Amino acid sequence: MKIDDMDAFVAVIRCQSTNLAAEALQLTQPAITRRVQNFEEDLGANLLDRNTKPLKPTPMGWRVYEQCKAILREIDTLRELVANDGVPSGSLRLGVPQTIGDVVLLDALQQIREEFPDLRTQVINGWGSSLISKMENGELDAAAALFPAGKIFPEGIAGHSIGRMQLQVVAARGSMPKRHYKLKDCYTRGWVLNPDGCGFRAGLQRALAEQGLSLQINLETFGTELQLGLVANGMGLGLVPAPLLANSRHLERLETVSVSDFKPVIDLWLLHPRYLGNLQEPVELFGRVVAQRLGSQA
Is domain 88-298 given the CATH code 3.40.50.2000 in the classification?
no
What pLDDT score was predicted for residue 43? Answer: 92
What is the pTM assigned to this prediction?
Answer: 0.64
What pLDDT score was predicted for residue 298? Answer: 39
Residue 236 contacts residue 259 (beta carbons within 8 Å) = no
CA distances from 228 to 64, 84, 188, 218 (A): 48, 44, 18, 13
Calpha distance 97→41 (Å, rounded): 42
What pLDDT score was predicted for residue 296? Answer: 47
Q: How many residues does the chain have?
A: 298
Calpha distance 241→296 (Å, rounded): 13
The per-residue pLDDT for range 232-275, each reduced to its tens digit, is: 999 999 999 888 898 889 999 999 999 999 988 888 899 998 87
What pLDDT score was predicted for residue 85? Answer: 57
161: Cβ contacts below 8 Å, ≥ 6 apart: 149, 267, 268, 269
CA distances from 122 to 91, 93, 94, 95, 113 (A): 7, 5, 6, 8, 12
Name the 3-class secondary structure at 220: strand
> Please, where in the chain does CATH 1.10.10.10 lie?
3-83
Q: Is the pLDDT of residue 97 over 50?
A: yes
Phi-psi category of residue 258: left, alpha or beta, with phi > 0 → left and psi -120 to 50 → alpha = beta
What pLDDT score was predicted for residue 86? Answer: 62
Among 77-91, 92-106, 110-124, 235-249, where is mean pLDDT lowest? 77-91
Residue 270 contacts residue 286 (beta carbons within 8 Å) = yes
Calpha distance 62→51 (Å, rounded): 16
Share of the chain above pLDDT 90, in %: 45
Share of the chain above pLDDT 70, in %: 96
Q: What are phi and psi of 49, to 5 degrees?
A: -90, 100
Pick the closest to residue 14 from 78, 61, 79, 50 (CA basis): 61
CATH of domain 3-83: 1.10.10.10
Phi-psi category of residue 294: left, alpha or beta, with phi > 0 → left and psi -120 to 50 → alpha = alpha
Q: How many CB atoms lie within 10 A of CB 127?
A: 20
What pLDDT score was predicted for residue 276? Answer: 77
Confidence of residue 80 (pLDDT cuts 50, 70, 90): low
Q: Is the pLDDT of residue 140 over 80?
A: yes
CA distances from 36 to 53, 54, 158 (A): 17, 16, 31
What pLDDT score was predicted for residue 282? Answer: 93
The per-residue pLDDT for range 167-183, each reduced to its tens digit, is: 899 999 999 888 889 99
Calpha distance 10→23 (Å, rounded): 14
Give the mean pLDDT of 79-88. 63
Give the mean pLDDT of 218-228. 90
Q: What are phi and psi of 296, to 5 degrees?
A: -70, -15
DSSP string, 137-163: TT--SEEEEEE-TT----TTEEEEEEE
Would strands 142-147 and 90-96 be described as parallel, antiparallel, or unpaired?
parallel
* Nearest-5° Cα angle at 164, 201 to 146: 40
Give the mean pLDDT of 186-202. 86
Buried b (16+ CB within 10 A) or exposed e, 66-89: eebbeeebeeeeeebeeeeeeebe
What pLDDT score was predicted for residue 58? Answer: 92
Give the mean pLDDT of 158-168. 89
> Please, where in the chain does CATH 3.40.190.290 lie?
88-298
Calpha distance 18→241 (Å, rounded): 41
Among 39-43, 83-87, 114-118, where is mean pLDDT lowest? 83-87
What pLDDT score was predicted for residue 273? Answer: 87
